[in-house]
């Protein structure tokens, strides 16, 4: 149990150098013991050193749980609350934000490496290697020149993270959107706001101190990331480089206290001052975007996503990872075909994919987890649309097969009776080659729930109008038709026959055979249809 200093303290400071945990702080004109750090000197001394060093007759005493309500104290005014419409809020969605979200959500599943100095880093190539973005870790939150953690220390730090830190990162990105120059301005966020955003006020099993301890830890995790960005020139926007730049600056943490009848201080609130890193000058620069010298990239953050991740991260960490990744991926267009191996790597990492490929039991376990996590996404409202060619019914999850099960008892009885009389029943065992077929399967898209749609503002409409005008001025370039070899290669990659392809495009098998042999040329309409079915572009 942690100790606390009473109001009888003479402020001599004799106890400060004796604390092995550096838990004794000086704030608001007096000393207090941070209960998040104090462990009663366990493993260091038999008795708490602050008690032994105290010269008065009422030394620090064991901290007791505070009784009654936590009264409101004078606080710094926080920034306006997010989600004013109760559904969503704009947030910065640049690649630096996306990749940082992946780092915070996927953590140890990512391919981390060590550089020549033994420092841990994760790097992602951009646009085929034309650019790159890398992440490193630091534990010095209050330093202008933070020291990058070594491999062992960084891995130990990452092991303590969880997906809820990615939610705080998105909250920061939403608050930064409200600032004209986020790389110079700051925003203020309180523990009460964070409780509301993450749905922590519903956790009646946690004490006030436990919630504050959790919030403080989550707030700090995104601020421990450093960025290395090497960006290439895009249009009129010149290339740039950032080296060991902070993702978020945690400028200050204010602790708010309330004294009990014995004069013991109880921590009742926290306020955080945060500022976006230098990346925002290049990716969240409204004025620069209007002058074509920088980017201004944003999208819509659903409030329900934050609460969902907070409630699911322990039981369905894979679903949370996919959910956070899809938040950015779906903004790139509704017809984003997603391969199943890609989703599995996002949810479970490359190492587990390799084990599943070589060990049968691991493969079965991974399949169960993936289908369960897909069901969680479906229940949340992010409904997967299965590709009928590469992801047919016989290898789909059972919950997807039962989507058409009637609610009426008599209709359900008839449904199961008809299913039992079929040659292939819904509850039959999966085919032996299910894993191999899933490695080539894909989803056509995800049906998005309410609040995921991008908010169309006047600025967005203006940019889209300018783009359409520019496209009208450019001469139309005729598309080259699909070649016979392209069609054959794409069809074989999907493992479908000429008959199956003919069925999906509404043609005869002989028509497909003549196209692949080169005796017929593909018309414009047929070319569009084949491109959509085969997933290739001419």
Euclidean distance between CA atoms 376 and 322, whole angstroms: 11
Q: What is the mean pLDDT of residues 133-148?
A: 83
What tokens appear for 503 in the block? 């069925």
Q: How confident is the model at residue 487 (pLDDT cuts 50, 70, 90)?
A: confident
**67, 31 contact by CB (below 8 A):** no
Q: How confident is the model at residue 456 (pLDDT cuts 50, 70, 90)?
A: very low
Q: Which regions of 346-428 does DSSP assign to beta strands (E)? A: 383-386
Q: What is the mean pLDDT of residues 87-94?
A: 92
3-state SS, residue 98 = helix
- Above 70 in pLDDT, residue 467? no
For 97-110, write each residue's pLDDT tens digit: 999 999 999 999 99
**175, 189 contact by CB (below 8 A):** yes
For 360-398, write each residue's pLDDT tens digit: 999 999 999 999 999 999 998 889 989 889 998 889 998
- Above 80 in pLDDT, residue 280? yes
For 391-428, write each residue's pLDDT tens digit: 988 899 988 878 777 777 777 777 677 767 766 666 66
- Above 80 in pLDDT, residue 474? no
Per DSSP, the residues of 456-523 read: --HHHHHHHHHHHHHHHHSPPPPPPPPPHHHHHHHHHHTT--HHHHHHHHT--HHHHHHHHHTSSPPP
**224, 249 contact by CB (below 8 A):** no
Give percent of the chain with pLDDT exceeding 90. 42
DSSP 8-class letter at 202: G
Gyration radius (Cα) of the chain, Å: 28
Q: How confident is the model at residue 336 (pLDDT cuts 50, 70, 90)?
A: low
Euclidean distance between CA atoms 336 and 314, whole angstroms: 28
Half-sphere exposure of 271 (CA within 13 A, CB side): 15
Range name among 8-17, 191-200, 216-225, 515-524 with the lowest pLDDT average: 515-524
3-state SS, residue 248 = strand
pLDDT of residue 441: 93
Euclidean distance between CA atoms 18 and 15, whole angstroms: 5
Range name among 4-13, 271-280, 294-303, 365-374 with the lowest pLDDT average: 4-13
Euclidean distance between CA atoms 137 and 115, whole angstroms: 13
- Above 90 in pLDDT, residue 17? no
For 144-154, write each residue's pLDDT tens digit: 677 888 899 99
Q: What is the CATH number of domain 484-534?
A: 1.10.260
Parse the chain into domains and list their residue ranges.
Answer: 1-65, 88-314, 332-404+433-453, 484-534
Its CATH architecture, for the domain 1-65, is: 2-Layer Sandwich (3.30)
pLDDT of residue 504: 78
- Above 60 in pLDDT, residue 528? yes
């Amino acid at each position: 149990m942690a100790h606390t200093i009473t109001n009888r303290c003479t402020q001599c400071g004799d106890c400060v150098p004796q604390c092995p945990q550096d838990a004794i702080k000086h704030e608001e004109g007096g000393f207090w013991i941070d209960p998040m750090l104090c462990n009663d000197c366990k493993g260091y001394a038999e008795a708490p050193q602050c008690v032994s060093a105290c010269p008065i007759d009422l030394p620090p005493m064991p901290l007791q749980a505070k009784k009654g309500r936590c009264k409101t104290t004078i606080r710094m005014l926080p920034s306006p609350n997010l989600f004013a419409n109760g559904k969503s809020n704009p947030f910065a969605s640049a690649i630096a934000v996306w990749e940082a979200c992946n780092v915070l959500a996927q953590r140890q599943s990512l391919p981390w490496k060590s550089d020549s100095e033994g420092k841990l880093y994760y790097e992602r190539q951009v646009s085929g290697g034309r650019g790159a973005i890398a992440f490193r870790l630091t534990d010095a939150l209050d330093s202008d020149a933070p020291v990058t953690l070594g491999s062992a220390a960084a891995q130990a730090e990452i092991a303590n993270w969880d997906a809820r830190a990615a939610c705080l990162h998105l909250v920061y990105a939403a608050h930064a959107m409200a600032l004209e120059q986020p790389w110079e301005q700051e925003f203020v966020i309180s523990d009460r706001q964070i409780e509301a955003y993450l749905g922590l006020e519903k956790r009646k099993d946690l004490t006030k101190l436990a919630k504050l301890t959790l919030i403080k830890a989550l707030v700090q995790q995104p601020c421990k990331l450093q960025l290395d960005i090497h960006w290439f020139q895009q249009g009129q926007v010149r290339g740039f480089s950032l080296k060991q730049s902070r993702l978020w600056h945690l400028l200050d943490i204010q602790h708010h206290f309330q004294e009990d009848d014995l004069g013991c201080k109880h921590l009742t609130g926290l306020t955080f001052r945060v500022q976006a890193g230098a990346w925002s000058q290049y990716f969240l620069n409204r004025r620069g975007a209007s002058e074509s010298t920088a980017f201004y990239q944003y999208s819509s953050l659903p409030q329900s996503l934050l609460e969902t991740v907070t409630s699911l991260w322990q039981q369905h960490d894979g679903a949370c990872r996919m959910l956070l990744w899809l938040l950015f991926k779906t903004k790139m267009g509704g017809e984003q075909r997603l391969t199943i191996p890609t989703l599995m790597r996002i949810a479970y990492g490359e190492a587990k994919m390799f084990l599943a490929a070589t060990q049968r039991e691991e493969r079965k376990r991974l399949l169960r987890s993936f289908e369960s996590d897909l069901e969680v996404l479906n229940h949340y409202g992010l409904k997967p649309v299965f590709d009928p060619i590469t992801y047919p019914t016989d290898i789909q999850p059972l919950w997807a097969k039962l989507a058409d099960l009637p609610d009426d008892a008599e209709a359900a009885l008839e449904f199961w009776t008809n299913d039992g009389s079929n040659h292939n029943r819904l509850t039959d065992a999966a085919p032996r080659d299910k894993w191999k077929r899933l490695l080539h399967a894909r989803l056509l898209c995800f049906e998005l729930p309410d609040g995921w749609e991008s908010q169309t503002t006047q600025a967005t409409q203006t940019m889209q109008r300018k783009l359409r005008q520019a496209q009208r001025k450019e001469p139309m370039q005729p598309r080259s038709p699909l070649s016979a070899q392209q069609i054959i290669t794409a069809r074989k990659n999907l493992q479908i026959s000429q008959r199956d392809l003919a069925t999906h495009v509404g043609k005869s098998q002989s028509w497909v055979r003549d196209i692949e042999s080169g005796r017929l040329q593909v018309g414009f309409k047929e070319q569009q249809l084949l491109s959509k079915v085969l997933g290739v572009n001419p």
